[in-house]
Amino acid sequence: MTAAWTFANLALPQVSDHNTVLMLVLAGFGEAPGCGGGVLSAKGSRVILQRPGSEIQFDRGWEDWTEIAETRPAVARRVRRGLPQPLW
């Protein structure tokens, strides 16, 4: 299975950080054995997370990963690099 998600975080400011964390959790479910790759894009074309195999990679240029306290620990344990842009 391969999945591509498009993330348009249009919620009110008090909800948008929580939405980002939820997207990270959803992307993490793909780490289960037998799952294929996946891509998470923001606003339709910016790749912010990809999983080409079993390893989740975060885009180092997307500031939300480090600005949101709940995502910092997950991101710190994984690869952050410049991901190919744009997705489409």
Phi, psi dihedrals of residue 45, rounded to the nearest 5°? -140, -20
| Residue 53 is assigned to a structural domain of this protein | yes
Q: What is the pLDDT of residues 4-55, one digit of tens each?
A: 556 666 778 778 888 777 777 776 655 556 666 777 777 767 888 888 777 8
Structure tokens at 74: 């997950």
Asked whether the predicted pLDDT for residue 82 surpasses 60, the reply is yes
Residue 59 and residue 86 in contact, taking contact as beta carbons nearer than 8 Å: no
| Residue 54 is assigned to a structural domain of this protein | yes
Residue 60 and residue 81: Cα distance in Å, rounded?
5
Q: How confident is the model at residue 1 (pLDDT cuts 50, 70, 90)?
A: very low
Q: How many independent structural domains does the chain possess?
A: 1
Structure tokens at 47: 């790749």
Q: What is the pLDDT of residues 56-72, one digit of tens each?
A: 888 998 888 888 888 88
| Residue 87 is assigned to a structural domain of this protein | no
| Residue 49 is assigned to a structural domain of this protein | yes
| Residue 88 is assigned to a structural domain of this protein | no
The residue range of the domain holding 35 is 3-81
| Residue 71 is assigned to a structural domain of this protein | yes
| Residue 52 is assigned to a structural domain of this protein | yes
| Residue 69 is assigned to a structural domain of this protein | yes
Q: What is the pLDDT of residue 20?
A: 78
3-state DSSP helix/strand/coil percent for the chain, to nearest 5? Answer: 30, 25, 45
